[in-house]
Structures are given as C-alpha cells and as structure tokens.
Amino acid sequence: MDRVTLQQLQAMKERGEPITMLTAYDYPTALLIDQAGIDLILVGDSLGMVVHGFENTLPVTMDMMVLHCQAVRRGTRRALLVADMPFMSYQTGVTDALRNAARLLAEGGADAVKLEGGQRIAETVRALVETGIAVMGHIGLTPQSVSALGGFKVQGGTVEAARRLLDDARALQEAGAFSLVLEAVPARLAALITRSLTIPTIGIGAGGGCDGQVLVTHDVLGLYERLTPRFARRYAHLADVMRQAFAQFRQEVLTRAFPAAEHEFSISDDVWQALLKELGEE
C-alpha cells in the first residue's frame, strides 16, 4: 500500500479535499487508524497526559517519544507518520533540534516531525527542512507553553495576538514547513490563516475552515475522562465499555464462571494415568 506523501497532502488542499489526522501511541491503535484510511498519524506528546497520566506534556522525553513512535510505526502502512518533538528537544538550539529530529526519524521511524512555536522557531524549522527533514508547525495553543499562556485557552483573541498568529503562520511556511496545526484558534481567524497560506492547515479547536482536522484519539474514543476539551467530539465511550468488561471479568472469576471448558487445555489419559502412578495416587 502506498504511503501518503507531502505532495498528496498539498494536492488535497488545492482540491479542497479535507485532510484527516489522529494521534496514536501504540501498535494496535495505529493499525486500526491506518485501516480506517486516516491520512496522517501523529505520535503526539499528548501521550504524556493521556497515556502516562502527567498533568501536562512537559515531562515527555525523547526516549518516550522514540519508544512510542517505534510501536506506532509497526502498525502504520499508509498514513504519513508525524512525531512531536518534546519539550526542550529543539528550544535549546539548532544542533539539538537536528540531533533529536534525526532520532525520531532514524530510531522511531517517523516520516516527519512537529514543533510548537511560530517566528521564534522559524530558523530551526528552516535548518531541519534544509537537512531534508519534513516539518509540521503548530501554533495557537501550544501545550508546551501552557504556563506562559495561562492555561489551556483559546488564542488570538486580540488584534495584536491575531496578527501575531498570522505572522507566525507565514514565517513557518516561509521556513519550509509542509503543514501547520492550528490549535484553539477562533474559527474566522483560522479560516483567514488557511486562505492566506499555500500549505495545508490542520485544525483542532479551530473550526471548519481549516484544510484538515486532528483530534486526540483518547478524546475520540472517550478514554481520557480527566479533561474533555469543548472542541473534541466523542465518537465512542470506550471507558464505559472497558469498565464494564473489567467488572464482568472480576465477577466471573469470583463466581467461577471463567474459565469455562473451552478455555482449558487437556492432557492425554495415558500421560495422566502414568503421572498418577508415579505419584502413587492411583
């Protein structure tokens, strides 16, 4: 099966065909997302919160990203695989950014990396792109700056902030990013940014005017109950399904309804009789 390419994503924007992206952090989920025909799979640093239970994404390390990326790679055939560069893996300079991005590609098997930030990281993005690394940008609500932003809040609410987001988007495109995530940006502003760029925008909490949409898979599946962003839609309630399955397993073990005959392995009568004889238990 042919892998989705950057050129195909660009062509989708030009044709006005919506682009789809979901996060995955493990092999079985990646396999199912890929089978559903989703265009991009993101190994997001949101894994710090939804898989590892941290309060935010800041404790996520390169080693964690590489490990999750390897698992997702094994389940991904068609989708383009993007890996987040975690906090402080690129903010410390171009050399660190190049080394860490190379790890995500060479060890993790990612096709592209995603970095948070606008104009201030444009030179880093340029250096990565010039080295041959495909880069996706991420502006608006950038969770690695959650404290500086004053929490998980919508961005671009003043003329100055909106103008800055537009300038950030243009700077990233100019630096060679192949696409941008717009997170928690007012819908009209996200649509304006989308119209003023030639590269595709992928929105999350940024309205229907973006070229594509991304959600955190745990929100889609109803698996992360600690925080439910207003912009996410639940397509399933797997937490309820899992709780019910675990409780039923417990109940069936307690009542000896599990395991049943079909779950047991047999031993031949000959072997059994010989064993009993040897043990003196005939």
Which string of x and - marks every residue 59-98 that binds ligand KIV (by CB under 6 A)? -------------------------x--------------
Q: Interacting stretch for ligand KIV, rule CB under 6 A, among 37-45, 63-71, 126-134, 167-175?
A: 37-45
Question: 240-279: which residues touch ligand KIV (CB under 6 A)?
Answer: none
Q: Is 181 in the site for ligand KIV (CB under 6 A)?
A: yes
Number of residues this chain uses to bind ligand KIV (CB under 6 A):
12
Q: Is 139 in the site for ligand KIV (CB under 6 A)?
A: no
**Which CB, 45 or 111, lies closer to ligand KIV?**
45
239 Rama class: left (phi>0) / alpha (psi -120 to 50) / beta:
alpha
Query: Cα–Cα distance between 53 and 57 in angstroms, integer?
Result: 10
252 is catalytic: no
E strand segments, 212-275: 212-215
95 Rama class: left (phi>0) / alpha (psi -120 to 50) / beta:
alpha
Q: Is 219 in the site for ligand KIV (CB under 6 A)?
A: no
- Beta carbons of 180 and 138 less than 8 angstroms apart: yes
**Which CB, 46 or 173, lies closer to ligand KIV?**
46
Query: Cα–Cα distance between 203 and 118 in angstroms, integer?
Result: 16
Closest residue to ligand KIV in the complex (CB): 44
The two three-digit tokens of residue 273, written as one number: 């009789």
Q: 3-state SS of the chain: helix, strand, coil percent to 5?
A: 45, 15, 40
Could you tell me the smallest distance in angstroms from the CB atom of residue 185 to ligand KIV? 12
Q: Interacting stretch for ligand KIV, rule CB under 6 A, among 41-49, 126-134, 192-200, 230-238?
A: 41-49
Q: Is 111 in the site for ligand KIV (CB under 6 A)?
A: no
Could you tell me the smallest distance in angstroms from the CB atom of residue 44 to ligand KIV? 2
**Which CB, 13 or 87, lies closer to ligand KIV?**
87
Query: Cα–Cα distance between 107 and 233 in angstroms, integer?
Result: 33
The catalytic position among 17, 160, 183, 264 is 183
Q: Which residues contact 37 (CB under 8 A, 6 or more apart)?
A: 20, 78
Q: Is 117 in the site for ligand KIV (CB under 6 A)?
A: no
14 Rama class: left (phi>0) / alpha (psi -120 to 50) / beta:
alpha
Q: Is 204 in the site for ligand KIV (CB under 6 A)?
A: yes
Could you tell me the end-to-end alpha-carbon distance of the chain, in angstroms, rounded to an integer?
Answer: 61
| Chain centre distance of CA 3 | 18
**Which CB, 144 or 252, lies closer to ligand KIV?**
144
Q: Interacting stretch for ligand KIV, rule CB under 6 A, among 38-46, 61-69, 185-193, 252-260?
A: 38-46
Q: Is 23 in the site for ligand KIV (CB under 6 A)?
A: yes
Secondary structure of residue 238 in the 3-state scheme: helix
Query: Which are the catalytic amino acids?
Result: 183
Q: What residue ranges bind ligand KIV (CB under 6 A)?
A: 23, 42, 44-46, 84, 138, 181, 183, 204, 214, 216
